[in-house]
Copies of this chain bind each other. A is one copy, B any other.
Amino acid sequence: MNPETKLAHLKRLLTEYSDLVDTIGLLDWDMETYMPPGGSSGRGFQKATISRIAHLKLTSGEMGKLLEELISYEEELDPDSDDARLIRKANRLYKKKSKVPADLAADIAKATSDAYYVWVRARENSNFSEFQPALERILDLKRQLANCFQPFDHIYDPLLDDYEPGLKTADVQQIFASLRPEQVNLLQAITQRPQVDDSFLHQDFEEKAQWQFGVKVITDFGYDWNRGRQDLTAHPFTQDIGLGDVRITTRVMNDYLPSAFFSTTHESGHAIYSQGMDRNLDRTPLAQGASYAINESQSRMYENIIGRSRHFWLHYYPELQSLFPAQLSQVPLDMFYKAINKVKPSFIRVEADEATYNMHIMMRLELEIALLEGSLEVRDLPEAWNSSMHEYLGLTPPNDAMGVLQDVHWSQGYFGYFSTYALGNLIAAQLWERMEEDLPDVFEQIGRGQFSDLTAWMREKVHRHGAKYEPQELVQRITGSKIDQRPYMRYLTNKYTEIYQL
């Protein structure tokens, strides 16, 4: 076989693998949206079976042999070509998956599946000790998993790499070390100023009108309904089922206006990313975000940089007022703008504002690393959590549910995931600064409800490439430097200096 034939063969294997991954996407989406309760046991089996088959396809001897034979061919190709990047990506996936013994992978799947309901109950009872044995088991398995990838600089590296290909623990620590004092200073300055009133956001807002307003806005953003849809779920998410079918979900709270709107705009950012990928990448492992942080940069951008900007509301606030005249006609734009940007340290990450959000992440990274290194025992985690919470935000959680048990991630073995949220914030601001050089009037456009130039810019620079580049490489190509906290701090400082008159 010549290399071209081998490459064609590789692509055939990868399309099958991608079809399986897309199918798992539908099994997941349906589970959260329309599956009747009686389907849950069967769904677990269906997902396990398809996942196992996908894993076997990816780690087959056939795949390994092809990839080995194609390595030298890849070096002859244009390094930026789809083919070269596909071979490289497939090689990376193959190596990451095939180094993990099947028994260990099965143990992790079982342990995290069991742990989910243990975590749900422990959170309901606000009792960490109920969850402790499950978490100890998961941590032990994740350590074993990391150790499959010896040698490494840090045991946390292989876990982080699942979410941020190529990024090292030391890189994130360095970024966060620079970020932390600046975030602390800004927060201190803000909290010394008078509080913002956002009580009017807590009124009765008709759900259908909320839904329609969100739909209108993301349609303007460029979300393509021909290749997507929106449904209601308990926790909003975006699900790709191939590039032609990118679905989002939201939740609508009758008594709190921002929830549905910012969920919808957030998820639309993820979805517009996927919808903007080059269709030639469909049914390959390149048809996904470059990393979790790059993906989050897009959702945060539409949610926060755009959706919480003054220019955005210059255009959309009159429309929102006309939908809810009783609730908003007496609320001036400035008051509304400040309310949706109110800063207040709080216990729960998912409710955090832009100025405190990264604090929640930085403390989680420290705890995760300490757990992996073994310098922190699981049984001591609640105490460490509370003391960290006090250190970062000056708050002490009243109970475990409001503290260490609030997030599902650890019950699912997602060690390495949290950082991507903060990195996404940083990257969003970094890309935005660079974009403003090319589109200096972008905020004026937003003030007229026009998003086509900015979406086109993101499509050209970010979206169309899918996962062809690793996150640091992509950010470097676009902005000229690696992931950097300074643009985000400039963005936050400018915004809050004006709002809080710092």
Contact = CB atoms under 8 A, between A and B. Distances in A.
A400 interface: no
The complex is assembled from copies of this chain, and their number is 2
Interface in A36-89: 36-43, 45-46, 48-50, 53
Interface string A114-144: 0000000000000000000000000000000
B283 A35 contact: no
A434 interface: no
B244 A41 contact: yes
Contact of A46 (B22, B36, B43, B46): B22
A38 B282 contact: no
Given A30-B30, A45-B19, A38 B283 contact: no
Contact of A53 (B27, B53, B247): B53
Contact of A245 (B36, B226, B283): B36
A37 B16 CA distance: 22
Interface in A199-257: 224-229, 231, 241-245, 247
Nearest to A242: B42
Nearest to A226: B38
A113 interface: no
A26 interface: yes
B39 A227 contact: yes
Q: Which 3 A-B pairs have the closest CB atoms?
A: A39-B245, A38-B227, A42-B242
A297 B67 CA distance: 54
Interface residues of A, number: 40
B229 A42 contact: no
Contacts of A241: 39, 42, 46
A19 B227 contact: no
Nearest to A24: B23
A230 B110 CA distance: 32
Contacts of A282: 42
A89 to B, nearest CB: 19
Interface string A410-442: 000000000000000000000000000000000
26 contacts: A15-B49, A16-B53, A19-B48, A20-B49, A22-B42, A22-B46, A23-B27, A26-B26, A26-B27, A34-B229, A36-B228, A36-B229, A36-B244, A38-B224, A38-B245, A39-B227, A39-B245, A41-B244, A42-B243, A42-B244, A42-B245, A42-B283, A43-B242, A43-B245, A45-B283, A46-B242
